[in-house]
Amino acid sequence: MHATPDLPRRHRLTVDDYYRMAEVGILDAEARVELIDGEIIDMVPPGSSHAGTVAYLTQVLVRAVGDRAIVLAQNPVRLSQYSEPQPDLALLRPRDDFYRARHPQLDDVLLVVEVAATSLRHDRRKKVPLYERHGIPETWLVDLGGRRFVRYRAPRLGSYTLVHEPDLGTPLDVSTLEGVTIDLNRLFG
């Protein structure tokens, strides 16, 4: 029996490691990065189409949910000890402190939205599966280049069981907020 050489191992960072790196200056406090599965990922700076779409969706969601949820734009959501992505939007359970005491965590999330102008491949291959594995109840992927809206719902055993592209001419229900509908007929202009 002969020994096999050790294969290189990756070192996964925890969310605590990630914050310590920022505290000591290894990561610039203003860096546009997120932690996904223990890896620091650079985020693409948003162009005007991306920023305008996030602004539109923010306004539509705030109007639709009122006080029933908090709309968080481009801020961290801690999913596990190894993942703290920054979705373009997150719909959260209401809290009196508006999450000042801590970042939202997995159980706080009702919906996440990723808007993709130049990040479609990353969002589709990395971020949607990340949300699936963690059981986020609903994820929306907005593909600006392809003018597509894909809705992922009903996670079960690490996979979304309902994936479809709804007609945006008809208001959408938010599966986690009974009676709330969202009108997205102006999503693509």
Residue 81 is part of a domain; what is its CATH number? 3.90.1570.20
Judge whether residue 1 has pLDDT over 60. Answer: no
Over 70: is that where the pLDDT of 101 sits? yes
128 within some domain = yes
Q: Residue 5 has what pLDDT?
A: 65
- Whether residue 23 lies inside any domain: the answer is no
pLDDT at 183: 94
Q: What integer pLDDT is reported at residue 165 of this predicted model?
A: 97
In this prediction, residue 44 has a pLDDT band, given cuts at 50, 70 and 90, of confident
Q: How many domains does the chain have?
A: 1
Q: Vertex 90, ends 85 and 96: CA angle to 5°?
A: 110
**Is residue 92 situated within a structural domain?**
yes
Is residue 30 a part of any domain in this protein?
no
Alpha helices in 66-186 (DSSP H): 120-122, 128-134
End-to-end Cα, the chain, rounded Å: 66
- Specify if 19 maps to a domain: no
Answer yes or no: is 5 within a domain.
Answer: no
61-85 mean pLDDT: 97
Residue 35, Cβ density class (10 Å: 0-12 exposed, 13-18 middle, ≥19 buried): buried
In a domain, 69, yes or no: yes
